[in-house]
A and B are shown apart, each in its own frame.
Chain A
Amino acid sequence: MSTIAFSLIAVMIAAYAMLDGYDLGVGAIMPFIARDERERGAVMAAIGPFWNGNEVWLVAAGGTLFALFPRAYASAFSGFYLPFMVVLWLLMFRGISIELRNHKTNPLWRAFFDASFSVSSALLIVLFGIAVANLLRGVPLDEHAYFRGTFAFLLNPYALGIGLFALIVLSLHGAIFLATRTEDAVGERALRVARTWWPIAALAYGAATIATVIIHPLWSNFTAAPVLIAIPLVTFAGFAGTRIFTGFGRPHAAFAASSVFIGGLLLSAAVTLFPYLLTGYPDPATGLTVGSAAPPSSALAVGSTVAIVGLAIVAVYTWVARRNMRSARSRASA
């Protein structure tokens, strides 16, 4: 049961990275793609209807973690109190920037919110990258599994590197998304940026993989269940597909490939972490596992079922809504 619960949360976080990842990436890459206020308006309109729904994945994953693994939720969020508050403020600033920019036509008003949207998006990506890196590397925990460490510990070279890696790959992801939803100069420029950034992303991907293998030598899950090796392989295929489809000028296929890549990265990290929710440092075994963090009751089964049923309902109405939006648009243009 705890394996299903762990997988559920891993999938929700991977979905968050894939979905909010593209609108965060759009924020980071916007200054390189949109040249004037009108073009920035087109970029904002491309993510406008979706960003809030994407961000719900973070809130839903947080709530599900709370219900299923309360001790991990309590340790992680209180342990990283100040960094977490910074994340919250950035999320707030970013949301306000997106929603309020269009309420006035004054160019200074819009320039301010566009800039704060880009800066907060880029910083959030780096911070999320640092968070995942520290999960993989492990953090010092006391006997009650509360984090006892310093900022300097969290901002280690490996974590900073992964933060930069996240910024590069999500910017690429965002650029490809823009190529699917904008036309004319903006769409073409987005595709071109995606092609030029790909080699940089390839270098970062290689470096991040090697660094992770060195930092986190816990590969027992892959040896125990070799079928799981498919996840990093599919991840790699997604990355290759990103280049191939952008090369052929097929943004939708490239976006699908890029989504597979981002989701695969997160799921690969989850597989290496299992059964740890919070790895200890220097000894991983001082961390919290699914066994020690879960309530020993029906909460796991009930909570997982309620979440899976709920997400199925969400999938249905999101699909119906998107389909109607698309068919109406094609009718309008026909």
Chain B
Amino acid sequence: MTSAVIADRIQFAFTIMFHYLFPIVTMGLAPFLATYAVLAARTREQRYERALHMWGRIFAINFAVGVVTGIPMEFQFGTNWAPFSARAGAVIGQPLAMEGIYAFFLESVFVGIFLYGRSAVPRFLYTLSIVMIWLGSWLSGFFIVATDAWMQHPVGYTIAADGVIRLQSLAAVLLNAFAWWQFAHVLTGAVIAAAFILAGTGAFLLLSGRAENDARMYVRHGVIVACIFSVLAIFPTGDRNGADVTHDQPIKLAAMEGLFRSEYGAPLAIIGMPDTSRRTLIDPILVPKTLSFLAYGNFEANVKGLDDYPRDLWPPVELTYYAYHVMVGLGTIFVAVAALAAVLLWRRRLYESRWMLWILMLSMPFPFIANEAGWMVTEIGRQPWIVYGLMKTADAASPNVAAGETIFTTIGFAGMYFLLGVLWLFLVLREIAEGPGAPAPAEESAR
């Protein structure tokens, strides 16, 4: 693999991972925002108006950074991955074009109304615009996942004599079974992150002794939603994703689990360090036969290990393994934290349990890590393929862009994103510190 490919991969990984922090919040917060908007319109209660105002402002900051960091993503296919674009563009270009036309226009028109039209449009249109933003953000997520799912599990194509991949059926690409469970899992991840942000922010306000009624509402809504969705993330969505990987990408499964030798009744490694040179898992803690059961529903089933596959078809084992274990470990902790908080809520002791409020407040960053780790498993585990089984990543990088150019621009992106990250954190923390104030007078002047 030439260094240009490595440079291109680092650039893509860095820019996509930074960008994805924001869609997590956008996709996760949008349903909360839409719910508060509908409740505010129907009940006219001030607490919902205040919630809409505060979370709307946080949403707006987040949306802005998400939009600007998203622009380079689409164009990187052309700049850094020209041979891939030229060969597969007839297929993957379709969902990407649809994202622009069907999702981005929807979001941008209604975000314009949401941010600037509060006093200029009828109330129903204002409420509707927030629901439309929700729809737009989830549609956008779907088209991206459909693009990725095609790279994981290509369907609906034929290959021409010159190697160019032709579109055979757009419906097959959009209805790809791989895409739908992956999309469901991505959405649960985003909703969990937003739920923990709500609960954590409410906990912060309660611990600071401010805006207590509103803060309790955020904690309550956050904890209940986090409890439901952290279970959904494991079952059925995580489980079904695992089944798709087991079926379509067995090498990725072996790397995720750090399984080198094929085994009947394969154990599940809870922890351990994969050593690819000695082809073994160092110091593992194993649960006997569980991997066979999770993968095939049978404690005695044969799970194939990495040794059964040629070395050059292995993904980077360590990265895939650690990312997967970080995601699953955190996912399990989310269930525990959310369930514990839910029990305290049910026993009416949550708002007085300061230790639990501290835990909720400090939990806020972790769903982001779990979301990012999940995508690392998906994408790093797909290597060495850019399109699974059809095209190698090594053959996909632009021949006319030098490694040095890509490294140079990656440093540029790093500087730019550092600035954006600082601005984002500053503005969001300021909103949280201000808490749910009186919405009406500040609104127009603040925009």
Contact = CB atoms under 8 A, between A and B. Distances in A.
Contacts of B447: 45, 48, 102
Interface string A48-89: 111011011001111110111011011111110110110011
Contact of B108 (A53, A66, A89, A329): A53
A111 interface: no
Contact of A317 (B71, B82, B109): B109
B78 A76 contact: yes
Contact of B100 (A63, A78, A148): A63
Interface string B81-92: 011011111111
Contacts of B97: 60, 63-64, 66-68, 303, 306-307
A67 B96 contact: yes
Contact of B116 (A49, A73, A78): A49
Contact of B110 (A71, A295, A321): A321
A105 B108 CA distance: 25
Contacts of A74: 78, 82-83, 85-86, 89, 398
Contacts of B74: 59, 62-63, 66
B78 A73 contact: yes
B85 A66 contact: yes
Given A53-B109, A67-B94, A100-B423, A321 B400 contact: no
A215 interface: no
Given A85-B412, A295-B166, A70 B75 contact: no
29 contacts: A49-B113, A56-B105, A56-B108, A59-B100, A59-B104, A63-B93, A63-B97, A67-B90, A67-B94, A70-B85, A73-B85, A73-B86, A78-B401, A88-B72, A88-B75, A92-B420, A95-B71, A96-B68, A96-B423, A102-B446, A146-B82, A146-B400, A296-B166, A297-B158, A302-B167, A303-B167, A306-B94, A306-B170, A317-B109
Interface of B: 60-61, 64-65, 67-69, 71-72, 74-75, 77-80, 82-83, 85-94, 96-102, 104-106, 108-113, 115-117, 119-122, 125, 129, 158, 160, 164, 166-168, 170, 398-401, 405, 409, 412, 416, 420, 423, 427, 445-447
Which 3 pairs of residues, A with B, have the shortest CB-CB distance? Answer: A70-B89, A77-B78, A67-B93
Given A71-B86, A78-B401, A310-B101, 12 more contacts: A48-B112, A52-B112, A59-B100, A64-B101, A67-B89, A74-B82, A81-B400, A95-B68, A296-B160, A297-B90, A306-B101, A317-B109
